DNA sequence: TTAGGGTTAG
């Protein structure tokens, strides 16, 4: 074998084309496909007895190798054969050894009859064919004998004949499968660019991808995409790349979406397109959570332009991605486009549409889609789409309609409600506070023979906990454990959070410790919740312990949990510990955010250390975080607490004029409350007016502060006006309002007015229009 | 297609 020379180049390249389709097509497929198998040997038929191939085969089989040169009938018969006939003939020989003998014999003892280039090339091509058959024999005799193949290659590579494409791919696939990549590259380099067509490149590239050598594979594939490339990728190239890179069990370097899209796009420009199956897989992958849907959209349209068929499945993936990104307009236009291109929407297409409409509370539109698919497109809704719709209805508080739809399901064939249907309905009832009904529905479900799953449990337990029945939730869970069901991290998360909220930290910790006994391991959310509960309860030692357990389990604190911990330490006056957390954050590469700064500013200013508070505020600004209404609120509150009312008011005006920060209810409340307590009720009223001017809504706290101030001043008339204002704004009195007014109004004999106020009537003028109107009714 | 969490000023 000799490296192709320029004089031979064109001839050699011609060799690539005329190879017979059977072997070429078989070899082109994946390496799991067995190598071409010669037809089973048959006894020579009468009509074939005289054919040269049969005659030669008989001679070769019956004559010892050493006698071949002296056989006078052999030589003329051989000179009449085409290269392809040589391939067929050699495949019929009994073994690799005989085939190799034949190859050597032919190489030495036969010469082209004439010395023309055509004859020379014919001769070389014949040798190529025979050599290919030799390799095929070796592989068939022992598919694991990769070394044998490689040895034959190395001992013959310096002979002056080219390797056929099939020989190259056979070598590359076998060596690749045996992970002999050094040898693979030796063959690849040896054959030279002139022989590295798509089949050859695909063979090596696929082997590399299979073992996760992505970068090497892409380097190899890129050869086909170079501007001056001799060969272009084929459709199989794309399928190989996509199937291997998007694989579920992929263990190599994660290939970025951009890289994949770039490859597909460049291949399409070179006339190679993915099969509709791998295109579907590609779009599913690009549109998955966190994927780049915009890129997927562009690529899909690019492929559409090239006339590539993308089936419903792939379009559905894009549609789901658009839904996730709230691109409703694009969703609608894309569905139209699908229709124009003759891509039929299926039940999944409509499912995606219904799901995303529901997720954004556009439930009525979702109901319309459901009707439309039944009536106009005649796609029968399935259980999933009904479940989606029922969940959507329940999530917006329309659980009655959800229940009705569940009944409707029973009327459809193959659409009976399943566990998920019940889970959605139970959740709807729980969220509506109808725990008893939810419990009954759970029983109905069991009576119908449907098995509840862990989601059913969690939904019910959560419903109980949120309505203050934590112990019922716990009892229910233990009941279910007794019946052989199992909880998971979410079950514990629900119960632990509920116990923390109920200030039963010990029970929460006990559950946390018990989890592992029930084969449950906490996840990040559970850790975050527990840390939060412990910090709020001031149990910082426990919080620190849980934090270190969390780290041991391989989870990291995020910025919110750091803030929770820092806030907890500050409340406990443990500044050193708070600093430790800040140091930790820095090491973990988590940057402080506005909440971190506000927590610290609040801490220092509450302690009266306004100098340090201002320093922190300065750092905040230089860190690129703009002080917010909470920052100013913390400082104003602290000034008020420290009897520095004038500084508080000054900062308020400074905030209003020098920054873009608008005051909120809390800040007004702080000022109004402090002014009233300092006997400056008039000034407090001024801020109340300012508040209205700025369209900031007062709340019960605002009214309570003023009412208390009016009580001190015995301004009964003003108080009645203010109470009317509360009624007008539907601002409900709370226990503090009642305390102030009961004491005051009973002492001045106006308890009737208070009664009217509680009933929601205006009180300033007992003959006022509203009151009389309401009394008439 | 169904279930869980958290931060700062009062």
Q: What is the pLDDT, as a whole number, of residue A287?
A: 86
Q: What is the pLDDT, as a whole number, of residue A403?
A: 94
Structure tokens at A134: 């030799």
Q: Grade residue A777 by pLDDT with cuts at 50, 70 and 90.
A: very low
* Domain-terminating residue out of A136, A161, A195: A195
The nucleotide lying nearest A561 (C-alpha to C1') is B6
3-state helix, strand, coil in chain A (%, to 5): 70, 0, 30
Which residues numbered 688-707 in chain A sit less than 7 A from strand B, measured from CB? 699, 701
End-to-end Cα distance, chain A: 109
Q: Is the CB of A493 under 7 A from strand B?
A: yes
Which residues numbered 273-332 in chain A sit less than 7 A from strand B, measured from CB? none
Structure tokens at A620: 């905040």
Higher-confidence position of A705 and A6? A705
A505 is a domain residue: yes
Q: What is the pLDDT, as a whole number, of residue A116?
A: 65
The nucleotide lying nearest A669 (C-alpha to C1') is B10
Q: What is the pLDDT, as a whole number, of residue A135?
A: 96
- Name the one residue in this structure whose structure tokens are 């590539």: A308
A538 three-class SS: coil
Query: Quick check: A578 pLDDT over 60?
Result: yes
Determine the protein residue whose CA lies at the shortest distance from the C1' of B4: A490
Which residue range(s) make up the domain with A183? 1-32+50-195
Q: Where are the alpha helices (DSSP H) in A347-453?
A: 347-359, 363-375, 383-395, 399-409, 419-431, 435-447
A429 CA vs B2 C1’ separation (Å): 13
pLDDT, tens digit, 9 for 90 and up, residues A277-301: 888 888 888 888 767 888 899 999 9
A286 is a domain residue: no
Contacts (Cβ under 8 Å, ≥6 apart) of A694 = A662, A663
Q: Grade residue A109 by pLDDT with cuts at 50, 70 and 90.
A: low
A436 three-class SS: helix
Q: CB–CB of A128/A163 below 8 Å? A: yes
pLDDT, tens digit, 9 for 90 and up, residues A457-489: 999 999 999 999 999 999 999 999 999 999 999
pLDDT, tens digit, 9 for 90 and up, residues A15-50: 233 333 333 322 223 333 333 444 444 444 434 457
A534 is a domain residue: yes
Which residues numbered 409-438 in chain A sit less than 7 A from strand B, measured from CB? 419-421, 423-424, 427
* Domain-terminating residue out of A534, A559, A584: A559
Q: What is the pLDDT, as a whole number, of residue A310?
A: 87
Which residues numbered 663-692 in chain A sit less than 7 A from strand B, measured from CB? 664-667, 669-670, 673
Q: CB–CB of A127/A107 below 8 Å? A: yes
A128 is a domain residue: yes
* For range A202-221, the mean pLDDT: 93
pLDDT, tens digit, 9 for 90 and up, residues A488-526: 999 999 999 999 999 999 999 999 999 988 889 999 999
pLDDT, tens digit, 9 for 90 and up, residues A344-388: 899 999 999 999 999 888 999 999 999 988 888 888 899 999 999
Q: Is the CB of A197 under 7 A from strand B?
A: no
Q: Is the CB of A485 under 7 A from strand B?
A: no
The nucleotide lying nearest A522 (C-alpha to C1') is B4
A545 is a domain residue: yes
Q: Is the CB of A122 under 7 A from strand B?
A: no
Higher-confidence position of A45 and A640? A640
A499 CA vs B6 C1’ separation (Å): 16
Burial A72-111 (b: 16+ CB within 10 A, else e): eebeeebeebebebbbbbbbbbeebebbbbbbebbbeebe
Q: Is the CB of A472 under 7 A from strand B?
A: no
Q: What is the pLDDT, as a whole number, of residue A518?
A: 86
Instruction: Give me the percent of chain A exceeding a pLDDT of 70.
Output: 90
Angle of CA points A246, A252, A255, to nearest 5°: 50
Query: Quick check: A2 pLDDT over 50?
Result: no
Q: What is the pLDDT, as a whole number, of residue A112?
A: 52
Contacts (Cβ under 8 Å, ≥6 apart) of A230 = A193, A194, A196, A197
Q: List the CATH number of the domain containing A504.
A: 1.25.40.10
The nucleotide lying nearest A558 (C-alpha to C1') is B6
Query: Quick check: A571 pLDDT over 90?
Result: yes
Lowest pLDDT segment from A1-5, A21-25, A342-346, A666-670: A21-25
The nucleotide lying nearest A492 (C-alpha to C1') is B4
Q: What is the pLDDT, as a whole number, of residue A22?
A: 32
CA distances from A486 to A491, A509, A510, A706, A743 (A): 9, 20, 18, 55, 55
Query: Quick check: A772 pLDDT over 70?
Result: no
Question: Mean of the per-residue pLDDT values for chain A?
Answer: 87
pLDDT, tens digit, 9 for 90 and up, residues A124-140: 889 999 999 999 999 99
Q: Is the CB of A459 under 7 A from strand B?
A: yes
A85 is a domain residue: yes
Phi and psi based region of residue A34 (left: phi greater than 0; alpha: psi -120 to 50; beta: remaining): beta
**Number of structural domains in chain A:** 2
Q: What is the pLDDT, as a whole number, of residue A253?
A: 73
Query: Quick check: A641 pLDDT over 90?
Result: yes
Burial A261-298 (b: 16+ CB within 10 A, else e): bebbeebbebebbbbeebbbbbbbbbbeeebbbebbbe
A655 CA vs B4 C1’ separation (Å): 40
Which residues numbered 566-625 in chain A sit less than 7 A from strand B, measured from CB? 567, 593-596, 598-599, 602, 606
The nucleotide lying nearest A701 (C-alpha to C1') is B10
A434 is a domain residue: no
* Domain-terminating residue out of A159, A178, A195: A195
The nucleotide lying nearest A598 (C-alpha to C1') is B8
Higher-confidence position of A13 and A102? A102
Nearest-angstrom CA–CA distance, A49 and A550: 82
Q: What is the pLDDT, as a whole number, of residue A311?
A: 87
A691 is a domain residue: no
pLDDT, tens digit, 9 for 90 and up, residues A48-83: 457 888 888 888 888 888 888 888 888 888 888 888
* For range A651-678, the mean pLDDT: 95
């Amino acid at each position: 074998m000799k490296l192709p020379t320029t004089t031979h180049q064109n001839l050699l390249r011609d060799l690539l084309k005329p190879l017979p389709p059977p072997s070429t097509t078989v070899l082109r497929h994946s390496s799991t496909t067995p190598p071409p198998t010669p037809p089973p040997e048959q006894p020579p038929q009468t009509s074939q007895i005289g054919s040269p191939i049969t005659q030669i085969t008989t001679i070769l089989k019956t004559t010892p190798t050493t006698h071949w040169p002296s056989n006078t009938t052999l030589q003329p018969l051989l000179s009449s054969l085409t290269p392809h006939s040589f391939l067929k003939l050699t495949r019929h020989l009994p073994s690799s050894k005989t085939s190799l003998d034949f190859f050597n014999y032919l190489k030495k003892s036969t010469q082209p009859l004439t010395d023309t280039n055509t004859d020379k090339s014919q001769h070389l091509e014949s040798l190529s064919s025979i050599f290919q058959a030799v390799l095929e024999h070796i592989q068939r005799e022992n598919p694991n004998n990769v070394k044998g193949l490689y040895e034959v290659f190395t001992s013959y590579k310096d002979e002056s004949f080219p390797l056929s494409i099939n020989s190259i791919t056979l070598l590359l696939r076998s060596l690749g499968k045996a992970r002999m990549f050094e040898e693979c590259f030796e063959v690849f380099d040896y054959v030279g660019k002139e022989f590295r067509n798509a089949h050859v490149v695909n063979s090596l590239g696929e082997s590399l991808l299979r073992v996760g050598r992505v970068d090497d594979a892409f380097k190899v594939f890129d050869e086909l995409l170079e501007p001056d490339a001799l060969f272009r990728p084929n459709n199989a190239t794309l399928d190989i790349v996509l199937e291997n890179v998007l694989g579920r069990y992929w263990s190599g370097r994660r290939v970025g979406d951009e890289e994949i899209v770039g490859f597909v796009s460049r291949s399409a420009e070179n006339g190679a397109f993915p099969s509709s199956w791998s295109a579907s897989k590609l779009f599913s992958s690009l549109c998955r959570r966190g994927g780049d849907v915009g890129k997927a959209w562009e690529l899909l349209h690019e492929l559409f332009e090239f006339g590539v068929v993308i089936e419903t499945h792939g379009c559905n993936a894009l549609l789901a991605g658009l839904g996730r990104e709230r691109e409703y307009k694009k969703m609608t236009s894309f569905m139209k486009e699908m229709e124009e291109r003759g891509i039929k929407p299926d039940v999944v297409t409509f499912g995606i549409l219904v799901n995303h409409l529901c997720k954004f509370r556009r439930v009525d539109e979702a109901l319309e889609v459901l009707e439309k698919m039944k009536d106009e497109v005649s796609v029968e809704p399935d259980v999933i789409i009904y479940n989606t719709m029922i969940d959507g209805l329940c999530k917006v508080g329309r659980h009655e309609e959800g229940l009705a739809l569940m009944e409707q399901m029973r009327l459809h064939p193959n659409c009976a409600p399943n566990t998920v249907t019940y889970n959605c309905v139970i959740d709807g009832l729980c969220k509506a506070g109808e725990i008893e009904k939810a419990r009954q529905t759970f029983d109905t479900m069991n009576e119908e023979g449907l098995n509840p799953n862990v989601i059913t449990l969690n939904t019910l337990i959560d419903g109980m906990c949120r309505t203050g029945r934590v112990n019922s939730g716990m009892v229910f869970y233990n009941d279910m454990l007794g019946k052989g069901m199992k909880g998971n991290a979410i079950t514990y998360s629900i119960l632990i959070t509920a116990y923390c909220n109920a200030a039963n930290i010990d029970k929460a910790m006990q559950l946390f410790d018990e989890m592992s006994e029930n084969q449950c391991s906490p996840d990040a959310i559970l850790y975050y919740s527990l840390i939060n509960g412990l910090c709020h309860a001031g149990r910082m030692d426990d919080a620190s312990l849980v934090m270190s357990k969390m780290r041991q389990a391989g989870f990291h604190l995020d910025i919110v949990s750091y803030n929770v911990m820092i806030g907890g330490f500050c409340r406990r006056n443990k500044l050193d510990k708070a600093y430790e957390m800040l140091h930790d954050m820095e090491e973990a590469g988590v940057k402080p955010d506005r909440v971190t700064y506000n927590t610290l500013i609040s801490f220092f200013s509450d302690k009266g250390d306004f100098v340090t508070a201002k320093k922190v505020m300065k750092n905040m600004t230089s860190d690129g975080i703009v002080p917010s209404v909470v920052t100013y609120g913390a400082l104003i509150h602290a000034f008020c607490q420290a009897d520095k009312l004038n500084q508080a008011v000054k900062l308020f005006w400074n905030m209003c004029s020098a920054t873009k920060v608008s005051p909120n209810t809390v800040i007004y409340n702080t000022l109004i409350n402090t002014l009233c307590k300092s006997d400056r009720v008039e000034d407090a009223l001024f801020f109340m007016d300012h508040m209205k001017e700025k369209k900031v809504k007062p709340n019960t706290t605002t009214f309570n502060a003023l009412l208390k101030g009016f009580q001190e001043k015995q301004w009964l008339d003003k108080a009645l006006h203010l109470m009317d204002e509360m009624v007008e704004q539907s601002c409900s009195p709370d226990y503090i309002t009642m305390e102030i007014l009961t004491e005051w109004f009973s002492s001045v004999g106006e308890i009737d007015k208070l009664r009217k106020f509680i009933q929601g009537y205006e009180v300033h003028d007992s003959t006022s229009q509203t009151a009389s109107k309401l009394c008439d009714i």
